[in-house]
Structure 1
Amino acid sequence: MRDFARSDSPAVQDQLDRLARLSVPDGRLGLDTIRALLGRLGDPHRRLPPVFHVAGTNGKGSTCAFLRAMLEAQGYAVHVTTSPHLVRYNERIRVAGELIGDARLAALLEEVLDVGEDLNPSFFEITIAAAFSEFARVPADACVVEVGLGGRFDATNVLGPEVLAACGIAALGIDHERFLLAPEEGAPPEPLSRIAFEKAGIAKQGVPLVTMAYGEAQHLAIAEQVERAGTVLRDEGRWWHWGHAAGNRIGYRDAKGAILLPQPGLPGVFQYANCALAVAMIRHQDRIDLPLAALKEGAAKATWPARLQRMSPGPLTGEREVWLDGGHNPSAGERIGEHFAGRRLHLVVGMLEAKNPAALTVPLGNGIASLTVVPVPGHDHHGSAAFGKSANAAADVSSALAGLPEDGLPVLISGSLYLAGEVLRLNGELPV
């Protein structure tokens, strides 16, 4: 299945069609291809403004959103690359605060695809090479870069100490097992420790690696990577701390002192931890100065589509209370379950065939008033049988919503970011 949307721009669509024809030898790992591709482009990854590099199983995108909001609150121009996109490929490349325009995107992709045609690059390698090329060309004050998959062998991991301000790791969980848990000599055998080992592969010499608090085995796996890289670990519980404060605020403290932050702009109790991680990354680096006022404003104003997003009234949702979340793994399911604890809801779910249906249904448990299963457009997906006898089937999200009773209960649409993108498109809420 392909990881990109259609474009209304014929010029962009021509390049997306070329991306669709890319293939990668099964099991290819390593950074040789992306380094060769970037080398042909003049090594733009060595000429970026200070970079905040974020890995993690869940929460890395939200942490990037907080970082961006905090930096922009100070008036800084910020480049951002995240994945996947929800509706338009353009969402992956934000240049000095604005999504890249169609004309520039078409020319940029054409250049990178032409240069790397004989290297057999992947979709993501082309995307990262394009993003870094544009980020090196357009002046800005900072970059925020989200890891795509894992960390150690991710295409973004070409970033070196000369551009990195701080690296960070958000929450850990089991996902992408085929790639991240493949047997390898010298890697931890325990699954979650192996995940930690892979994420910590982004550690670079002299660049602080800022992490959340994990179990002892995961901490040791990360510490091993930190020692190998020759850097310092700044982990929650040892170097920085946070907690819930009165008025739904965040209490944060580290060696620089204690501060109070407002309630995070992103809904969900788990976003407090992501916000605190962003603050810790900023306060444990010395490339960019950011005062408390910017941290506070960014914490309150951060936005991140399809992560427990309360949908606006629109052509798809009508006036109902509808929530959208692209969560699809057990860790995400737990966080969704925490948010809706004590509430009954109607669940509309579309999930890729490779994912576990119980990831959402178990955490929500008896709170599910009804369960309707829909296809994930353009992707192999689970049918209603995978969710049990009580699950209903609908042809699409519109039909699913139309079939729900008008009982005042909220609706949660979840299970896939691909489905989330379609929902946003249908409701006219395109990410900007």
Structure 2
Amino acid sequence: MSRAALEIDALMALHPKGYDLSLDRIQQLLDRLDNPHRKMPPIIHIAGTNGKGSVSAFCRSMLEASGHRVHVHTSPHLVCWHERFRMAAEAGAEGGGQLVDDDLLCATIRRVAAANAGAAITVFEILTATMFVLFSEHPADVAIIEVGLGGRFDATNVIPGPAATLITPISLDHQAYLGDRVELIAAEKAGIIKAGCPVVIGEQLEAEARDVLIGTAERLRSPMAVYGQDFMAYGEHNRLIYQDEEELLDLPLPHLTGRHQFGNAAVAIRGLKAAGFLISEDAIGRGLASVAWPGRLQLLSTGPISEMAGPGAEIWIDGGHNPGAGRVVAEAMANAEERQSRELFVICGMLNTKEPRGFFEAFAGIAKHVFTVPIQSSEAGLDPVALASDAAEASLSAEPADTVEAALKAIATAWQRPDNPPRILICGSLYLVGEVLAANRTPPR
């Protein structure tokens, strides 16, 4: 275990789990640290239910392709805490940024914890303050900061004036904290919109969410660009066509799988423009072609887990866990022409805070069989028997399995067809995806 992980474990034992739905504690801690959040490079702040991480990855990839140095903060992590803090490359260095060095992260966490002096706080707030210290003390041209939960009271929302605010598609998730109607969730996400600061609104399938976001931007007099109104993207002849009020770009398809990534790429392109970064068409294209975002419709091509399902089988992983994610992941699995003839098997584990049936309904008529598994790395995992019942209620053939490995073995022995190897999707939780990446020895880099 890394030194930073040991420090975080100690904090987890000391401080309460969960979320603090206010900004008072994080602001008091930042005051003690001499307000590093006010000494940052230009910030692109990203909220939404689905697609935040993908938009962050697109922004980083395009910015780095154009030669910019980029800090990136995302959450949660998949395998190690360091994934949350990607540090910009040093001046003159080739290539993009790297995950934070363990010694640097450990030392910074200790500084922040010392400044907090044992006051009541959550670990997420301490890590958010750690991010602001790291990013303010190491030079970069831009910082991309992803919201952790919601927006209005998220610890990252102490940012006074972002270069641009980006809001991705909104659907039901975290209802216990954000509300049980999409317009209530949208109001929480809209809390990151700042008066006079540009905002880019991604495609919203729910009119109520779109109306709340637009209404907030209008009230705050924030320059606004809305997907489908001011900009858009679509596939044509195996290319991505992006169009806004100023230009039309003919680009390579994104390296990330799924048609939903067209909209995420468009938000990133329009968001960089809103933030004042004039990226060339060539750099945008190179960024789209090289973008990587682990654990989101990722194909496992090497490693112990990838070899367990038999010759020729495809294993995909995705951390989506709400009905909106279920729809786009199921569509991606069903619509890829080269994979339509393969039978789809789903291995799913979920936390007890999610809505399994809404997620599973998207796979009706697409998945041949579902195996439900426990999540070993969380005490909040749903019982596989109950989860299989949820899948059955969504008209899916389903059964529980003890582990992902056991489910893969069952597919390899009982369902394998040499003339038509299966597709296997391991999904339902980022915790589960992290476990699979660790067992496969392919953690994010």
TM-score of the alignment, normalized to the shorter chain, above 0.5: yes
Q: Distance in 1 between matches of 2:122 and 2:370?
A: 37
Letter in 1 for 2:366: G
Partner of 1:328: 321
Residue pairs, 1:206-221, within 5 angstroms: 206-214=196-204, 215-221=206-212
Q: Distance in 2 between matches of 1:176 and 1:238?
A: 29
Most deviating of 387-396 and 341-350: 387-396
Q: CA deviation at 1:363?
A: 0.8
Letter in 2 for 1:386: L
Partner of 1:270: 260
Q: CA deviation at 1:46?
A: 0.9
Q: In the alignment, is the contact (CA less than 8 A) between 2:174 and 2:353 conserved in 1?
A: no
Q: In the alignment, is the contact (CA less than 8 A) between 2:44 and 2:275 conserved in 1?
A: no
Q: Distance in 2 between matches of 1:268 and 1:236?
A: 18
Q: 1:391 to 1:117 in 2, by over 3 A?
A: farther
Q: Distance in 2 between matches of 1:17 and 1:28?
A: 19
Q: CA deviation at 1:26?
A: 7.4
**Unaligned 5+ runs, structure 1:** 1-7, 183-190
Q: In the alignment, is the contact (CA less than 8 A) between 2:40 and 2:135 conserved in 1?
A: yes
Partner of 2:288: 299
Letter in 2 for 1:385: A
Please, which of 40, 58, 61 is the counterpart of residue 53 of structure 2? Answer: 61
Q: Distance in 2 between matches of 1:25 and 1:72?
A: 35
Q: Distance in 2 between matches of 1:346 and 1:143?
A: 39
Partner of 1:339: 332
Give the TM-score of the pair, scaled to structure 2: 0.89
Q: Distance in 1 between matches of 2:439 and 2:159?
A: 37
Q: In the alignment, is the contact (CA less than 8 A) between 1:196 and 1:221 conserved in 2?
A: yes
Please, which of 385, 405, 410 is the counterpart of residue 403 of structure 1? Answer: 410
Q: CA deviation at 1:270?
A: 0.6
Q: CA deviation at 1:208?
A: 0.5
Q: Distance in 1 between matches of 2:5 and 2:72?
A: 22
Q: In the alignment, is the contact (CA less than 8 A) between 1:128 and 1:156 conserved in 2?
A: yes
Partner of 1:76: 68
Letter in 2 for 1:204: K
Q: 1:406 to 1:72 in 2, by over 3 A?
A: same
Letter in 1 for 2:289: A
Q: 1:74 to 1:369 in 2, by over 3 A?
A: same
For residue 365 of structure 1, give the secondary structure of its aligned residue in structure 2. Answer: coil
Q: Distance in 2 between matches of 1:110 and 1:27?
A: 21
Q: CA deviation at 1:23?
A: 3.7
Residue pairs, 1:126-165, within 5 angstroms: 126-161=126-161, 164-165=162-163
Partner of 1:101: 101
Q: Distance in 2 between matches of 1:302 and 1:28?
A: 33
Per-residue Cα deviation, 1:286-333 (whole angstroms, up to 9, x for no partner): 2x3322211111111111011000012211220531000011100000
Q: Distance in 2 between matches of 1:423 and 1:19?
A: 26
Partner of 2:225: 234
Please, which of 165, 169, 172 is the counterpart of residue 170 of structure 2? Answer: 172
Give the TM-score of the pair, scaled to structure 1: 0.91
Residue pairs, 1:186-201, within 5 angstroms: 191-201=181-191
Most deviating of 87-96 and 23-32: 23-32
Q: Distance in 1 between matches of 2:126 and 2:19?
A: 18
Percent of aligned positions that are identical = 39
Please, which of 30, 40, 44 is the counterpart of residue 52 of structure 1? Answer: 44
Q: CA deviation at 1:246?
A: 2.0
For residue 317 of structure 1, give the secondary structure of its aligned residue in structure 2. Answer: helix
Q: CA deviation at 1:117?
A: 3.4
Q: Distance in 1 between matches of 2:19 and 2:208?
A: 27
Per-residue Cα deviation, 1:204-240 (whole angstroms, up to 9, x for no partner): 1221110124344323311332244332221112222
Most deviating of 150-159 and 364-373: 364-373
Most deviating of 143-152 and 113-122: 113-122
Partner of 1:414: 427
Q: In the alignment, is the contact (CA less than 8 A) between 1:384 and 1:391 conserved in 2?
A: no
Q: Distance in 2 between matches of 1:31 and 1:312?
A: 43
Residue pairs, 1:328-367, within 5 angstroms: 328-341=321-334, 342=340, 344-367=343-366
- Does 1:85 find its partner at 2:74? no
For residue 190 of structure 2, give the secondary structure of its aligned residue in structure 1. Answer: helix
Q: Distance in 1 between matches of 2:117 and 2:217?
A: 35
Q: Distance in 2 between matches of 1:311 and 1:201?
A: 37
Q: CA deviation at 1:115?
A: 1.1
Q: In the alignment, is the contact (CA less than 8 A) between 2:168 and 2:203 conserved in 1?
A: no
Q: In the alignment, is the contact (CA less than 8 A) between 1:242 and 1:252 conserved in 2?
A: yes
Q: CA deviation at 1:395?
A: 2.0
Q: Distance in 2 between matches of 1:104 and 1:54?
A: 25
Letter in 2 for 1:397: V
Letter in 1 for 2:84: R
Letter in 1 for 2:408: L
Partner of 2:92: none
Q: In the alignment, is the contact (CA less than 8 A) between 1:269 and 1:339 conserved in 2?
A: yes
Q: Distance in 2 between matches of 1:340 and 1:27?
A: 34
Partner of 1:4: none
Q: Distance in 2 between matches of 1:25 and 1:371?
A: 32
Q: In the alignment, is the contact (CA less than 8 A) between 2:217 and 2:223 conserved in 1?
A: yes
Q: Distance in 2 between matches of 1:426 and 1:32?
A: 40
**Unaligned 5+ runs, structure 2:** 89-96, 335-339
Q: Distance in 1 between matches of 2:139 and 2:351?
A: 39
Per-residue Cα deviation, 1:360-380 (whole angstroms, up to 9, x for no partner): 321111222222111101323
The CA RMSD measured in Å over matched residues stands at: 1.8
For residue 173 of structure 1, give the secondary structure of its aligned residue in structure 2. Answer: coil
Q: 1:27 to 1:124 in 2, by over 3 A?
A: closer
For residue 365 of structure 2, give the secondary structure of its aligned residue in structure 1. Answer: helix
Report the count of equivalent residues.
Answer: 412
Q: 1:73 to 1:361 in 2, by over 3 A?
A: same
Q: CA deviation at 1:24?
A: 4.2
Q: 1:362 to 1:25 in 2, by over 3 A?
A: closer
